[in-house]
Amino acid sequence: MMDFAYWLPIVWAVILVAAISIYVVLDGFDLGIGMLFAFERHPDRRDVMVNTIAPVWDGNETWMVLGGAVLYGVFPGAYSTLLPAFYLPIVLMLLALIFRGVAFEFRVMTRGTGREGMWNAGFMAGSGIAAFCQGAILGGVVQGIRVVDGAFAGGPLDFLTPFSVLCGLAVMCGYALLGATWLIWRTTGVLETSCRRWAARLAVGLFLGIVAVSLWTPLLHAPYLRRWTDWPNIVFVAPVPVLVVVLGALFVMGLRRGHSKGPFLCALGWFFLCLSGLGITVWPYAVPPGLTLWDVSSPPSSQFFQLVGTAILLPIILTYTIYSYHVFRGKVTETDGYH
């Protein structure tokens, strides 16, 4: 029974990280496309950008809901501690996502009325604010929160520090890069050429952000530093920064050779490595720097009951997600339309 109770939180941690990672991948590039509206002013090309994500964008939030449900049902101690610490950015993020969704549809309905510009601006602002809040929340979790007797004991603005702001800006840059590389894959002509130019610049910004966050994070808490510098840990974690550089070289090569899918896959690889690095850093804490997975998890019987339901639902969600992307694959041009 002890082994069963020990391994269940680890299984759930893997499921939670997988849900967050899939959300970052799927919703990251459509938030990035919203931010890229700031660089593309031509209305027809903006429509093409939107049409590449229109059939699938609303299903991407499924993974955010799954992650929230896992946190609430399996790690209630973390949920009750983290939520009060991040009420402000969470509410702001949700409002931005709602307004962004409304703007997504209304920008088409108001075509020719003179109000399309307002909804385009809302689409851009909602995407940028949501991306920044997600990065700031992540940075706030990594830097740790004040906990007394298992409850949050800080203030509503404790999350807002130079480190969390850096993380927010890095995530914005990363999502914009995902959006640009997605459009390289899915578009043609002038728009694809512009996206290659944007992607080259955004990749430099993201790489600098990765370096800055990677150097700063181990200095936040002593266990973080030991995880990356102590022997033999360094042998197992060294491939992460090495692979970041390798993917950077492959990214540049793919852009120069005119590859369509390569830059997007390299950008996804960067995100995977960043999430892996953060996981290595904070493990086994659910609420850094003091509460572990086992401290905040629900009873084993509850975890097992929810695991059975998840084992049924997760393949269904994965199947319709993969199928939807398969159906709407291929290049999108100005002659194609979704609305």
Q: DSSP states of 98-153 as a string?
A: HHHHHHHHHHHHTTTTT-HHHHHHHHHHHHHHHHHHHHHHHHHHHH---EETTEE-
- pLDDT at position 181 is 93
- pLDDT at position 339 is 53
pLDDT tens digits, 86-128: 989 999 999 998 888 888 877 777 776 667 778 888 889 999 9
pLDDT tens digits, 257-275: 888 888 999 999 998 888 8
Residue 173 to residues 32, 118, 167, 182, 324, Cα–Cα distance (Å): 8, 23, 10, 14, 27
* Segments of the chain scoring below 50 in pLDDT: 1
